[in-house]
């Protein structure tokens, strides 16, 4: 449930309600909005059944929350969240572009990419050092060596860096090198891993699972936030359907649905959604048009030689052309590049 306080409620009144909630063994989550303060109750609300919270000073109303996710719920936190990654803010007035290779292959490859995408207008460098692949015989990533290259790329370009982690060991290594941790689609419901990334305090990019509903996705984010880490960014990357023309089916409607249900920022990954570079531009424009907070675009110096996902990766020139085409639409939607 949430307790909505009256406009200009006194601090003492807010603290009194918070105290009652905590005295009954529940957690109180306070959200200070521009006009009103909302107190979210996390736990078994039946413990408050005899409290009659509506009669206390400055309480406007008590509203039940039926969804199982609480901290990620817009009812708990009506104002959109902003997540800082290095000096970049996701969820503000900038359309944040994450770009880079699917897999870090070498120092030269990553540094060339980092400089090229920064010149074209990207804000965050993405790269895979741990690569969970469908086939056990496919390239699995350079691991810590790749992370070291990412750190060096950040030092040279100033771009914050994000990398997927796939295990507790990977988390323990990655936190020394990156600015943001990514949970991939295959691990969206690896609840132990979600808890562990939540404990790091680093921003987390949470990709939607291949067959996950939006409510399941939001419940996954709840595991991270419940560990005291509110810095979660959602990433729609396509879901598995009967269609075979693309690798996955991009659920573009996920953006407005998330915006109606949650305060968390959401970005779109059209590269993994389609698996086809020719479709990336159109879906990037569509993502901006429906209000996405950012994009994740794969780029590579020579996609034909990429060790992973070459067919969906853009060349440097293609990426630069894309950012130029995105700028006017972003401005129309109230964002800048």
Cβ–Cβ under 8 Å, residues 238 and 250? yes
Residues 141 and 174 in one domain: yes
Q: Rounded mean pLDDT of 263-275?
A: 97
Domain of 36 in residue numbering reads as 2-63
Q: Say which CATH number the domain at 276 has.
A: 3.20.20.70
Q: Compute the mean pLDDT over every residue in the chain, rounded to the nearest whole number.
A: 93
Residues 31 and 156 in one domain: no
**What integer pLDDT is reported at residue 29 of this predicted model?**
86
Residues 141 and 32 in one domain: no
Asked if the structure places residue 71 within a domain, the reply is no
Bin 275: left if φ > 0, else alpha if -120 < ψ < 50, else beta: left
Q: What is the CA radius of gyration of the chain?
A: 21
Residues 57 and 110 in one domain: no
Asked if the structure places residue 70 within a domain, the reply is no
- Sign of the four-CA dihedral 165, 171, 175, 177: negative
Q: What is the pLDDT of residues 24-65, one digit of tens each?
A: 888 888 888 777 899 988 888 888 888 888 888 999 999 888
Asked if the structure places residue 278 within a domain, the reply is yes
Q: What is the pLDDT of residues 127-154, one digit of tens each?
A: 999 866 566 666 667 889 999 999 999 9
pTM: 0.91
Residues 42 and 87 in one domain: no
Residues 137 and 251 in one domain: yes
Residues 59 and 92 in one domain: no
Weakest mean pLDDT among 38-42, 220-224, 240-244 = 38-42
More confident of the two residues 73 and 65: 73
Residues 112 and 210 in one domain: yes
Q: What is the pLDDT of residues 171-215, one digit of tens each?
A: 999 999 999 999 999 999 999 999 999 999 999 999 999 999 999
Asked if the structure places residue 337 within a domain, the reply is no
Asked if the structure places residue 232 within a domain, the reply is yes
The structural domain count of the chain equals: 2
Asked if the structure places residue 157 within a domain, the reply is yes
d(CA 337, CA 335) in angstroms, rounded, equals 7
Residues 26 and 161 in one domain: no
Burial 324-334 (b: 16+ CB within 10 A, else e): eebbebbeeee
E strand residue ranges, the chain = 2-5, 27-32, 37-42, 59-63, 83-85, 88-90, 96-100, 124-126, 161-164, 180-183, 204-207, 232-236, 266-268, 294-298
């Amino acid at each position: 449930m949430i307790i909505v306080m009256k406009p200009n409620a006194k601090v003492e009144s807010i603290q009194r309600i918070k105290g009652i909630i905590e005295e009954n063994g529940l957690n109180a989550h306070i959200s200070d909005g521009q006009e009103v303060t909302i107190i979210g109750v996390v736990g078994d609300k039946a413990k408050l059944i005899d409290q009659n919270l509506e009669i206390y000073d400055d309480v406007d109303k008590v509203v039940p929350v039926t969804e199982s996710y609480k901290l990620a719920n817009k009812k708990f936190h009506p104002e959109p969240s902003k997540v800082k990654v290095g000096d970049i803010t996701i969820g503000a007035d900038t359309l944040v572009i994450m770009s880079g290779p699917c897999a870090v292959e070498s120092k030269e490859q990553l540094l060339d990419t980092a400089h090229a995408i920064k010149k074209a207008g990207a804000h965050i460098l993405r790269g895979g050092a741990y690569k969970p692949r469908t086939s056990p015989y496919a390239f699995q990533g350079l691991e810590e060596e790749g992370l070291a290259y990412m750190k060096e790329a950040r030092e040279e370009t100033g771009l914050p860096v994000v990398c997927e982690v796939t295990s507790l060991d990977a988390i323990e290594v990655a936190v020394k090198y990156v600015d943001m941790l990514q949970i991939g689609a295959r691990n969206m419901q690896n609840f132990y891993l979600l808890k562990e990334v939540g404990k790091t305090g680093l921003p987390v990019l949470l990709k939607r699972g291949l067959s996950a509903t939006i409510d399941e996705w939001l419940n996954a984010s709840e595991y991270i936030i419940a560990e005291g880490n509110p810095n979660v960014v959602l990433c729609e990357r396509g879901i598995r359907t009967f269609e075979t023309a693309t690798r996955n089916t991009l659920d573009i409607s996920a953006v407005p649905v998330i915006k109606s249900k949650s305060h968390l920022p959401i970005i779109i990954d059209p590269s993994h959604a389609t698996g086809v570079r020719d479709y990336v531009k159109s879906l990037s424009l569509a993502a901006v048009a429906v209000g996405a907070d950012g994009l994740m675009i794969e780029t590579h110096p020579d996609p034909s030689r990429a060790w992973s996902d070459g067919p969906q990766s853009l060349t440097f020139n293609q990426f630069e052309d894309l950012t130029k085409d995105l700028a006017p639409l972003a401005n129309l939607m109230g964002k800048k590049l």
